Structure 1
Amino acid sequence: MSKGNFIQVFEYQKIRYDANGDFKSHHFDSMVLYNEKNQSKHFTVIHKGIQFNSYVGVIQIGGLTIEILPKADNDISHSEEQKKKWQGVLLNMLRVCKHITVDNVSETNLSKRYNSILEVYFEMYLNEVESLVKRGLIKKYRRVQSNQLALRGKLLFSQNIQKNIVHKERFYCEHQIYDKEHLLHLILLRGLKVLDSLISSHLKDKLNRLLFEFYDYKEININATHFDKINLERKSLPYQKAVDIAKMLILNYSPNLNSGNDNMLTLLFDMNKLWEEYIYRILQKHKPEGYRVNFQNKTSFWEHKTIRPDILIASDTNEIFVIDTKWKIVDSRNPSDDDLKQMFTYNLHWEAEKSMLLYPKINQEDSKFGVYHFDGLEKKCKLGFVSIVDNGIRRSENIVLEIMEKLK
């Protein structure tokens, strides 16, 4: 399960702390506090341990990294080969869904470069900041308040009386400065400082070089409201990706949780939502000629309630198909009543003759299109299963061809 301070587990797997393992009681305490702050949605607390659920990704607590991988097969060995394969699947799905950008890496060899998906985000961020430094950090106007020996900008009367009642020769003013120490760079600096508390790898040298570029900037506590103030214009547009990654790192970072020495960073993704978005994006990219693909078509259903199928596919001949994705293992002969009722509603509302529940494939076979018995309406639904791995990561265009074939 572990290599040094790195533990890999699969979704729904359990880990427990003991004196000899890498997962210690203080790690457990930090995760319990984190879970309580997040409505216990990311995992379940068990006796002396944690059971993961449908959230995958990575948790770093102090020097320990826990990577949670998706899994859709019958192999219960939890071997290193299995972990490498499903880490590659997760990286590829994050790449396709644009949660990460990895240059010059194909779908089939994506898993060969990185020890942990967290390392991907760290490297992405450092590369983005390095690119901005090489391009030249931009200057912006910012407002400051300070004591001046000459009136500059706007005199702040009440503060001037408080601060300069003795020094009549000074003026407490608000004025503009045009320099590099503005909010964009303070956010980038905070992102680098978060990494400084977490990185102990080959990326440390690059991090130290970049921190030197910001050595004389003041540090402030960055929160969500600071990101709301960001308005990128033409000159600052190249900062978009770096700011996005900084936001993810900063807002998911919990320093000194439980008043100990454990800094905590969590990057977790709901596998159900990731599977849904992945299927949509590959359908959108590789859809056959004459088809349109729409995502999450929310519409009014009853009073203030809405319904939203995952994916709608429409042909130029006005055929409509509904796909609802489910990241769970089911028997092809035993769909849930709730799922079937949900799909019938979609069929009616969007006037679709056919709908499909799409699951990851282990060894199930697709069901036939079953007919709903309702007032003579010819509405059909089936269970479809698609594999995303073969000998390696399966090519997305082949998955799309298979999905379209299932709808016939």
Structure 2
Amino acid sequence: MSPEEGAANDISLREHAPARSVPLDAAAGRALAASGVLESVVPDPYQDGHWRLRAGSLVGAVRVPVPGTGRALTVRVAPKTPVRRLFFLLGFSLDPAKAWRQGRDGTVDAGTHEDVLPALAHAVERQIDAALRQGVLQGYRRTEESALVVRGRIREAEQIRRHFGRTPPVEITYDAYTADIPENRILRAAAETLLRLPGVPGPVRRRLAHQRVRLVDAEPLVRGHALPAWAPSRLNARYQPALRLAEALLAGTTPEHRPGELRLDGFLFDMNALFEDFVTGALREAVREHGLSARLQDRHHLDTARLVRLRPDLVVYAADGRTPVAVVDAKYKTEKSGKHPNEDLYQMLAYCTALGLDEGHLVYAAGRTDSRAHEVRGTPGPTGRGITLHQHALELDADPADLLADFRTLAARLVGPHDHLRS
């Protein structure tokens, strides 16, 4: 059997699992390597016609076309954590304040599906259905067109430029009350994106097609263009959960590439970003209960000339909003041989030095050891003590209530030495 005959068209991998040897012809292997979907794609040195594939932190499903063959590879990457936990993290990152108040798995309904794609399709369809339950939202949209009758206001400059003052037609502008608004266009785009992907269960696919029909008056989005802007308001409050989930799907959809490059269909979630959003969102809500505030990706400088930039994931401030009291960095990494990378400690030491703090906190995923602390030699902090770097490990398989309880404990530890700075 030739490599082409034995090539796999449907590839299933697991996030950060050991490399797997898969039968692929040279064209398919090169296409997959060029796509950037996987962390590593190299020819197998021990088996002809095979490539060794290793997934990184991107999870989801994507279709990779093989140029010149008319074929496409479908690549599915499953997360290390159970799918229900993935959607708990996703729901938290979409609306941390609401998820913190709820404190349970109900933020995103993934149904009973155990694979990412069916669960996401189910969740998006359910959210769209809930948004449209009271009818399709309509709003005013500025419209400019040529017409035989005057409606709204005449665009005088366009009338002169296009028609030299002759009428009809008349160049007019008016506000139309229509369903073709950004909110409906985003929901329609999410439904159509999922309908293009293989592996969506039949019942969910039929419901998505029904939702697309309900949104038919909204113009389809142009692939590769930025999503239309919308602003939260009282009028679109019932749409907001669906819009946040739809935008997360569309943001994870592989973008259009430059001419001559591969164009991919699918979606990918970056677990690094998802974990960071979860940790920083949960801690920000937790410290608010202590009367303090927190800023995400806060910009600072290590040197007096302000040339070396630093951006910690989370900086906690006193009630005055100016005095830093704690710094946190989230790391979606698994321990190897009982140790985390030393580079993380060096980075946190720089944060503590720049912020004038004597304690820094690193929060890891998938840890198998208890929290530990490292006292840094020769580094007197603001209190005269040496700087201490703390490493915390989160077990994402834990119950959501237990996870949030861990964040409350960590938040109390962050603000404990600074009770006098609380509002």
| TM-score exceeds 0.5 | yes
Aligned match of 1:75: none
Does structure 1 residue 92 correspond to structure 2 residue 97?
no
After superposition, give the CA deviation of every residue in 1:295-322 in whole Å (9 maximum; x if it has no partner).
Answer: 4432233324322333445789x99443
Aligned match of 2:407: 400
Aligned match of 2:268: 267
1:57/1:269 contact within 8 Å kept: yes
1:51 partner amino acid: R
Q: Does the residue aligned with 1:340 lie in a helix, a strand or coil?
A: helix
Name structure 1 gaps, 5 residues minimum: 71-84, 163-167
Give the Å deviation of 1:171.
1.4
- CA 1:252–1:159 in 2, change beyond 3 Å: closer, same or farther? farther
Does structure 1 residue 50 correspond to structure 2 residue 46?
no
2:142/2:175 contact within 8 Å kept: yes
Q: Choose which of 157, 170, 173 in structure 1 pairs with 2:171.
A: 173
CA distance in 1, matches of 2:389, 2:315: 15
Aligned match of 2:118: 119
1:154 partner amino acid: I
Aligned match of 2:135: 136
- CA 1:379–1:189 in 2, change beyond 3 Å: closer, same or farther? same
CA distance in 1, matches of 2:203, 2:103: 20
CA distance in 1, matches of 2:261, 2:336: 46
- CA 1:347–1:113 in 2, change beyond 3 Å: closer, same or farther? same
Give the Å deviation of 1:118.
3.2
2:92/2:278 contact within 8 Å kept: yes
TM norm structure 1: 0.70
- CA 1:236–1:267 in 2, change beyond 3 Å: closer, same or farther? same
After superposition, give the CA deviation of every residue in 1:28-68 in whole Å (9 maximum; x if it has no partner).
Answer: 56544432xxxx8x623322353222x23212327946134
Give the Å deviation of 1:207.
1.8
Give the Å deviation of 1:337.
5.1
Q: Choose which of 58, 61, 76 in structure 2 pairs with 1:59.
A: 61
CA distance in 2, matches of 1:386, 1:191: 35
CA RMSD of aligned residues (A): 4.6
- CA 1:344–1:8 in 2, change beyond 3 Å: closer, same or farther? closer
Aligned match of 1:386: 393
TM norm structure 2: 0.68
- CA 1:210–1:369 in 2, change beyond 3 Å: closer, same or farther? closer
CA distance in 2, matches of 1:401, 1:231: 31
- CA 1:171–1:66 in 2, change beyond 3 Å: closer, same or farther? same
2:40 partner amino acid: T
CA distance in 1, matches of 2:401, 2:131: 35
1:69 partner amino acid: P
CA distance in 2, matches of 1:112, 1:125: 11
**295-304 vs 384-393, which moves further:** 384-393
Name structure 2 gaps, 5 residues minimum: 1-8, 44-50, 64-71, 417-423
CA distance in 1, matches of 2:266, 2:121: 12
2:60/2:77 contact within 8 Å kept: yes
After superposition, give the CA deviation of every residue in 1:72-110 in whole Å (9 maximum; x if it has no partner).
Answer: xxxxxxxxxxxxx53343233223223799999638x98
- CA 1:193–1:347 in 2, change beyond 3 Å: closer, same or farther? closer
1:178 partner amino acid: A
Q: Choose which of 363, 366, 369 in structure 2 pairs with 1:364.
A: 369
1:16/1:50 contact within 8 Å kept: yes
Aligned match of 1:280: 280
2:112/2:119 contact within 8 Å kept: no
Count of paired positions: 371
Aligned match of 1:298: 299
- CA 1:173–1:200 in 2, change beyond 3 Å: closer, same or farther? farther
Q: Does the residue aligned with 1:114 lie in a helix, a strand or coil?
A: coil
- CA 1:146–1:342 in 2, change beyond 3 Å: closer, same or farther? same
After superposition, give the CA deviation of every residue in 1:248-301 in whole Å (9 maximum; x if it has no partner).
Answer: 444544599999999611222142x43333233333444597573624432233
Q: How does 1:244-263 map to 2 (within 5 A)?
A: 244-250=244-250, 252-253=252-253
Does structure 1 residue 69 correspond to structure 2 residue 79?
yes
1:386/1:402 contact within 8 Å kept: no
Identity %: 12
1:252/1:266 contact within 8 Å kept: yes
Give the Å deviation of 1:247.
3.8
1:321/1:354 contact within 8 Å kept: yes
Q: How does 1:216-365 map to 2 (within 5 A)?
A: 219=220, 221=222, 223-225=224-226, 227-228=228-229, 230-231=230-231, 234-250=234-250, 252-253=252-253, 264-271=265-272, 273-286=273-286, 290=290, 292=292, 294-296=294-296, 297-302=298-303, 303-312=306-315, 320-330=325-335, 338-360=343-365, 362-365=367-370
Give the Å deviation of 1:204.
1.9
CA distance in 1, matches of 2:117, 2:95: 12
Q: Does the residue aligned with 2:90 lie in a helix, a strand or coil?
A: helix
CA distance in 1, matches of 2:313, 2:370: 22
After superposition, give the CA deviation of every residue in 1:113-138 in whole Å (9 maximum; x if it has no partner).
Answer: 22333334333433343344332331
2:292/2:316 contact within 8 Å kept: yes
- CA 1:144–1:26 in 2, change beyond 3 Å: closer, same or farther? farther
Give the Å deviation of 1:9.
0.7
Aligned match of 2:15: 10
